Amino acid sequence: MADAKVIPFDDDRPRGGTQRAGRRRSRPADAAGGVTPLPGGRQAADPDAPPPRRAAGAKAGGWEQRLAGGLAFLRRRITGEYEVDEFGYDEELTDQVLMSLLRPLYEKYFRVEVKGIENIPSEGGALVVANHSGTLPLDGLMLQVAVHDNHPAGRHLRLLAADLVFMLPVVSEIARKAGHTLACAEDAERLLARGEVVGVMPEGFKGIGKPFSERYKLQRFGRGGFVSTALRAGAPIVPCSIVGAEEIYPMIGNAKTLARVLGVPYVPITPTFPWLGPLGAVPLPTKWTIQFGEPIPTDGYAPEAAEDPMLMFNLTDQVREQIQHTLYKLLVQRRSVFF
């Protein structure tokens, strides 16, 4: 991750949450949560207001309420009465559609267990640094659902993705809508300065493309660019360990010649792919655990600390060791890959 200068903002809005760009509908001050005051202190639901975010484990309301909410959502999409921020993030679409599509995979298929979610601060910027594995980057998506559905302050994770993601048609547009942005220091610093929770997986393609024989062995974390980004923003670093993703596509080989022809980092060969055709692309239903570790503060360092290579090395090594130690601990506690 190359160092870059922070791009200043041109307004004085608070930085504690997501800034939004686009058309904003004006509403009475008392109607902030989708309700409109009526005489006698009663409140009526605003049909145009987005439905409240789904709490983890909460039961869905009646079909009438869901239908009304769905129709109001469709009307806002058709008329363009929705908002995106400067990175293309569409919070309403992410809450109502993208998370709903990913949630069955998260809850029923991988049965993700989340630990230490309280280590992500309730407000202000934070950098979540996680291991990367699984041949396809499903671990990043499950990490996003984990924060979205479990954090008590309802925080959203803004993932930094590789260039390849934004070169693919359709995938690029969906990634932007889901809040992902390019893995560069400039974008990361801008998000952290706005008080966002940013997610990075420093192993990159070396992590998700490693052979099955090297599972749960962390690859190189680059040159510590994520550490300098956190130092410049004064944001805490939250190490995160993910167990279960390594086994969804056991990579036993790599068709390197085909990968060069296609211009991709690797073409995986697994026990089921390409032998079973499209069926071989179905991930194995492993049991996942995602654990967020104790945050490492960075606000106590001087501004010039971001240029100290020795400090970069030490902090990078500290984060890497904490993730690796937690991975080993979770593996020892795990009784089965699938149960």
Cα of first residue to Cα of last residue in the chain, in angstroms, is 37
Q: For 10-14, 223-227, 276-280, which range has the lowest pLDDT when averaged over its residues? A: 10-14
Over residues 77-81, mean pLDDT: 84
What's the CA gap between 207 and 205, in Å, rounded?
5
Rg value, the chain, Cα: 21
Predicted TM-score (pTM) of the model is 0.79
Cβ proximity of 122 and 197 under 8 Å: no
Number of H helices, E strands in the chain: 10, 11
pLDDT of 127 > 90? The answer is yes
- Phi/psi for 324 (5° steps) reads -65, -40
What is the SS3 assignment for 189-240?
HHHHHCCCEEEECCCCHHHHCCCHHHCCCCCCCCCCHHHHHHHHHCCCEEEE
Instruction: Return the half-sphere exposure (C-beta side, CA atoms, 13 A cut-off) of residue 304.
Output: 0
What's the CA gap between 240 and 197, in Å, rounded?
13
Over residues 241-250, mean pLDDT: 96
Cβ proximity of 238 and 126 under 8 Å: yes
pLDDT interval class at 38 (50, 70, 90): very low
Percent of the chain with pLDDT over 90: 65
Name residue 126's beta-bridge partners: 197
Over residues 148-155, mean pLDDT: 96
Residues 309-338 have pLDDT tens digits of: 899 999 999 999 999 999 999 999 999 999
pLDDT interval class at 32 (50, 70, 90): very low
Tell me whether the omega of the peptide bond preceding residue 274 falls within 30 degrees of 0, making it cis: yes
Q: 80-112 b/e with 16+ CB inside 10 Å = b? A: eebbbbebbbbbbbbbbebbeebeebbeebbeb
- Phi/psi for 18 (5° steps) reads -75, 125
- Give Cα 104 to chain centroid, integer Å: 17
Residues 191-208 have pLDDT tens digits of: 999 999 999 999 999 999
Mean pLDDT of the chain, nearest integer? 84
What is the SS3 assignment for 87-100?
CCCCHHHHHHHHHH
User: Structure tokens of 209?
Assistant: 């493309």
